A and B are shown apart, each in its own frame.
Chain A
Amino acid sequence: MSVSCLHFSSQLLLLLSFHRHVNTISENTTSITEPRVETPAPKTPPLAPLIPTQTAQRNVLLTGENHTEEIEVVNPVVLNLECIWPGNGKRLPNITGYWTKDGQTIETSYSNIQLENDLYRLIREFTIMNEDDLGNYSCLFGPKAKVKFIVAAPHLGEVRDKPIVSYVGDSVVMVCKMDEKKPQPISWNWYIQNGTNKVQIESDSNAHKYKITKDGNKTKLLVYNLTESDSGVYYCGAVYAVAISMGYMQLRVITYYEPLKPFMGILAEVVILVAVILLYEKIGSRKHGESAGTEENKDETNNLSHRDNDVAVAHSSTRQRKV
Chain B
Amino acid sequence: MPPPATSNLGYTPPDGGWGWVVVFSAFISIGFSYAFPKSLTVFFKEIQEYFSVSYSEIAWVSSVMLATMYAAGPISSVLVNRYGSRPVVMVGGFLVGLGMVSASFGTSIIHLYLCVGVIGGFGLAFNLQPALTIIGTYFHAKRPLANGLAMTGSPVLLFTLAPLNQFLFDSFGWRGSFLILGGITLNCCVAGSLMRPVKKTVESKPKEYALELNGPEEAVPVVSTESQSCVERFIDISLFKHRGFLIYLVGNIVLFFGFFAPIVFLALYAKHQGIDEYSAALLLSIFALSDMFVRPTTGFLGNTKWIRPRIQYFFAFAVSYNGVCHLLCPLLPGYTGLVVYAVFVGLGFGMLSALLFETLMDLVGAKRFSTAVGLCTIIECGPVLLGPPVSGALVDAFGDYKYMYYTCGAFMLAPGIFFFIMHYLNYKQLDEEKHKAAVEMRTAEDTVHLNIGQKDKSDDEIEK
Contact = CB atoms under 8 A, between A and B. Distances in A.
B232 interface: no
B361 interface: no
A322 B212 CA distance: 21
Interface residues of A, number: 44
Nearest to A171: B50
A1 B188 CA distance: 59
Given A300-B224, A318-B456, A273 B179 contact: no
A318 B216 CA distance: 20
Contact of A220 (B49, B186, B463): B49
A166 interface: yes
B183 A304 contact: no
Given A259-B179, A303-B202, A281 B196 contact: yes
B173 A166 contact: yes
B190 A277 contact: yes
A8 to B, nearest CB: 34
B193 interface: yes
Nearest to B460: A322
Contacts of A301: 224
Given A175-B49, A311-B212, A322-B456, A263 B175 contact: no
B6 interface: no
Contacts of A45: none
Interface string A274-306: 100110010000000000000110101101100
Interface string B189-207: 1100110110111101000
B220 A267 contact: no
A59 to B, nearest CB: 28
B246 interface: no
A322 B183 CA distance: 70
A259 B172 contact: yes
Contacts of A273: 190, 193
Majority secondary structure, A binding face: helix
A307 to B, nearest CB: 7
Contacts of A303: 202
Contact of B204 (A175, A266, A307, A319): A307
Contacts of B187: 266, 270
A258 interface: yes
B213 interface: yes
A267 B202 contact: no
A165 B456 contact: no
A313 interface: no
Contact of B50 (A173, A258, A265, A323): A173
A319 B200 CA distance: 32
A323 B463 contact: yes
Nearest to A284: B196
Contacts of B180: 259, 262-263, 266
A292 B42 CA distance: 53
A152 B197 CA distance: 70
A248 interface: no
A48 interface: no
B172 A307 contact: no
Contact of B182 (A175, A258, A263, A319): A263
A220 to B, nearest CB: 7
B133 to A, nearest CB: 16
Contacts of B50: 171-173
B251 to A, nearest CB: 35
A167 interface: yes
B184 interface: yes
Contacts of A270: 183, 186-187, 189-190
A200 B193 CA distance: 57
Contacts of B184: 266
A274 B212 CA distance: 43
B179 A263 contact: yes
Contacts of B173: 164-167
A266 B212 contact: no
B170 A267 contact: no
Nearest to B169: A165
B186 A266 contact: yes
B406 to A, nearest CB: 31
A218 to B, nearest CB: 11
Contacts of A262: 180, 183
B196 A296 contact: no
A239 B170 CA distance: 30
Of the candidates A254, A262, A319, the one having the most CB atoms from chain B within 10 angstroms of its own CB is A262
B300 to A, nearest CB: 28
A170 B180 CA distance: 18
Nearest to A323: B463
Contacts of B175: 167, 170, 259
A19 interface: no
Interface in B356-404: none
A274 to B, nearest CB: 5
Nearest to B168: A259
Given A295-B201, A301-B224, 17 more contacts: A164-B173, A165-B171, A167-B173, A167-B175, A254-B172, A259-B175, A262-B180, A262-B183, A266-B183, A274-B190, A274-B193, A304-B216, A304-B220, A307-B204, A311-B209, A318-B456, A322-B460
9 contacts: A164-B173, A165-B170, A171-B50, A220-B49, A260-B179, A266-B186, A266-B187, A300-B220, A310-B204
